[in-house]
Amino acid sequence: MTRRSALSIPTVIAAFGAAEPVSGQGGPISVSFAGNHAGTLPAEFSMARTGAGAPAGWKVVEDATVAAGRVLVQTSTDRTDYRFPLAIYQPVTAVNLEVTVRLKAFAGDIDRAGGIAVRLLDPDNYYVVRANALEDNVNLYRVIKGRRTEIRGTRQKVSSGAWHTLELRAEADRFTVSFDGAELFSASDRSLTGAGRVALWTKADSVTWFDALTIQTLA
């Protein structure tokens, strides 16, 4: 059975605007949450959700252990299994890019995961790589019309309550996944070839913290 987001395509276009691709290769974009008030969503982001259940609950939280002093957290603990909250970064759309983020899987009983989405056209169509602290694995998926399908994955220790670095490089039909500075695997897929946005991603009741998001567009 295919699961769909509650948002229709016209609603998505109105909320997110048409995606204009970033051309060429510039310097990396470093997204810091230092200048945002605790309890708010940064202006550069919008919230969405793939699947069912309660809306996403993203907000900035103070954290003295990180350089910026604040992090972005998905706080909703809705236990719906097929539920994927998204924090979509609006300023950049691209086909080829490298995205890195630090994440900490803080809590969650149904799931305890966090990830990076790229080539996001709307909440029902994107690629996502995610690290899961309950399953101890890192998997790459495609989401097409709201249906999530695994492309490739690997066993990998993901400690709960600890910071990890997740990286996804998307170049044409090739996707390369790294974790804590070590390359895990590469895979090919041709399902989504156009420009899309970047988003942070969680699953079900995962309470996951995100810091030091970096986006590098590729020529």
Q: pLDDT tens for residues 23-66?
A: 345 789 999 999 999 999 999 999 999 999 999 999 999 999 99
Q: Is the pLDDT of residue 159 over 60?
A: yes
d(CA 4, CA 155): 28
Q: What residue has token string 């309660």?
A: 54
Predicted confidence at residue 25, as pLDDT, reads 57
Torsion angles phi and psi, residue 16, rounded to 5: -105, -20
CATH numbers and ranges of domains, the chain: 9-20+30-217 (2.60.120.560)
The whole-angstrom distance between residue 124's C-alpha and the CA centroid of its chain comes to 13
**What does each C-alpha distance from 5 to 2, 51, 156 come to in angstroms?**
10, 5, 30
Query: Within the chain, where are the H helices?
Result: 9-16
**What does each C-alpha distance from 127 to 80, 108, 121, 192 come to in angstroms?**
21, 23, 10, 8
Span 71-84, average pLDDT:
97
Inter-residue contact 130 to 109 (CB < 8 Å):
no
Q: Is the pLDDT of residue 19 over 60?
A: no
pLDDT category of residue 194 using cuts at 50, 70 and 90 = very high
